[in-house]
Amino acid sequence: MKKSFLMGVAVAALFAGAASAADLKFAPGQDAKFNWKSYDEFKAAHADLKGQPLTIFGPWRGEDEAFFQSVLAYFTEATGIDVKYSSSENYEQQIVIDTQAGSPPNIAVLPQPGLLADLASKGFLTPLGDDNSKWIKDNYGAGDSWVGYGTYKGKDGKEAFYAFPYKADVKSLVWYVPENFEEAGYKIPTTMEELHALTDQIVKDGGVPWCIGLGSGGATGWPATDWVEDLMLRMQPPEAYDKWTTNELKFTDPAVVAAIDEFGKFAKNAKYVDGGVAAVASTDFRDSPKGLFAVPPKCYMHHQASFIPSFFPEGTKLGQDADFFYMPTFASHPELGKPVLGAGTLVSIAKDSKTARAFIDFLKTPIAHEVWMAQSSFLTPYKGVSTEAYANPQMKKEGEILTSATTFRFDGSDLMPGKIGAGAFWTGMVDFVGGKSAEEAAGEIQSAWDGIK
């Protein structure tokens, strides 16, 4: 009796699993904000792959995994391909182990261009072909930049396009409370000069302009690296930024020191930051934005990436209680355009197959982006998607920053070797805010970098 009951439960669970996999979140052809035409075309073109296997390995777990599964459901529905998605807590190590052991997944999704370049140089990845790189170039905002992050040297030493960008994050954002700005009569700055003027104006009016918190336990210092990277892109051409992340341009270079000093103008001025300079390094980055919502406001602006609303006080309505603007550029550097700092995941083929190619083709359909966009936590630089599909106006605005960017650059500290990007750079920024000069701090980071060469 008991045994048959358990069997019944197991069978029911099996069916429940199967049923939810075939469940499409948004019924095809119904909602006009989705591009169903692209879906139907994709379906017609890939009908011959029914039942064939495809394995995907990626970084998404928990909530994100559920979102990705909902996207995969459309892929399965259209092609009949038998998709298996897996992930690991230590996905960076896992993919290295899997590829070296000779049992790679068909598709590997990773957020680190450096790691992908490493895999490509050992011959573990298959080039995606020039038509795909051309497609990215034509269809993505700042397409050239994205092609760059997917292009690596292979085992033969030749450069090829290996990684297809899918899902992005934006970091060049300044968060504020619209109500506070309205009451004080402040306007959103459109240039860095205006941002400086606004900062001074707030001080003159008796307020504190910025909340800056670098605290993050053992990772204390990283929010400052985002600041410096953002400023670097606004003061130097993207080529200099690229050289900086590989140390061709040394940390002690005047260009880098100037960017650090520019950050210091905000963070090392006791009148500019809530709690004074001493609070900058010790305030936890998760607590830092709370000053925006204090009454009276403890600060008016907060520079942070698109993820930060999850640390806003409960019940904060985005767009109404809190909003953001694009971290402006210098009017004195019009030639640098509109650079955007961010991050993203890149899709590559580790074991070639028809199904893997079909999956890359699937990512080119707007529907593969729109389904996730419509749920949450997904931004895309793909210009062909309907931005109406974004779950809320804030995400739509963030998405538009990506599609209208002239330059996109990956978080520099993620591109540097771990000892620097997740170590010396952090410590250097903590020391800088703690009183060292930009030259001294940069010198120490550089000597750490020299130490690992």
Q: Given the rule CB under 8 A, which residues bind another protein?
A: 208, 217-221, 274-276, 278-279, 281-283, 298, 417-423, 426-427, 430, 434, 444, 447-448, 451-452
Query: What are the residues whose beta carbons fall under 8 Å from the beta carbon of 277, sequence distance 6 or more?
Result: 267, 268, 269, 270, 433
Residues 135 and 364: their CA atoms lie apart, in Å, by 8
Q: Closest approach of Cβ 424 to another protein, in Å?
A: 9
Closer residue to another protein, CB minimum distance, 356 or 429: 429
Q: Closest approach of Cβ 205 to another protein, in Å?
A: 17
Closer residue to another protein, CB minimum distance, 74 or 449: 449
286, 313 contact by CB (below 8 A): no
Instruction: Please name the amino acid found at residue 433.
Output: V
Closer residue to another protein, CB minimum distance, 110 or 448: 448
Summary count for the chain: helices (H), strands (E): 20, 11
Closer residue to another protein, CB minimum distance, 107 or 420: 420
Residues 50 and 355: their CA atoms lie apart, in Å, by 10
Closer residue to another protein, CB minimum distance, 54 or 281: 281
Closer residue to another protein, CB minimum distance, 135 or 263: 263
Whole-number CA gyration radius for the chain: 23
Residues 221 and 244: their CA atoms lie apart, in Å, by 19
Distance of CA 125 to the CA centre of its chain: 23
Q: Closest approach of Cβ 324 to another protein, in Å?
A: 23
Cα angle 291, 297, 300 (rounded to 5 degrees) comes to 75
225-235 burial, b at 16+ Cβ within 10 Å, e below that, comes to bbbbbbbbbbb
Q: Locate 61 and state its tokens.
A: 């777990």
Give the torsion sign (CA, 304, 308, 309, 314): negative
Closer residue to another protein, CB minimum distance, 142 or 448: 448
Q: Closest approach of Cβ 69 to another protein, in Å?
A: 23
Q: 17: helix, coil or strand? A: helix
The count of other CB atoms within 10 Å of the CB of residue 148 is 20
Closer residue to another protein, CB minimum distance, 25 or 298: 298
Instruction: Please name the amino acid found at residue 154.
Output: G
Terminal Cα-to-Cα distance of the chain (whole angstroms): 68
Q: Closest approach of Cβ 286 to another protein, in Å?
A: 14
Q: Closest approach of Cβ 214 to another protein, in Å?
A: 10
Q: Closest approach of Cβ 112 to another protein, in Å?
A: 11
Q: Closest approach of Cβ 303 to another protein, in Å?
A: 17
Closer residue to another protein, CB minimum distance, 20 or 447: 447
Q: 335: helix, coil or strand? A: helix
Q: Closest approach of Cβ 89 to another protein, in Å?
A: 14
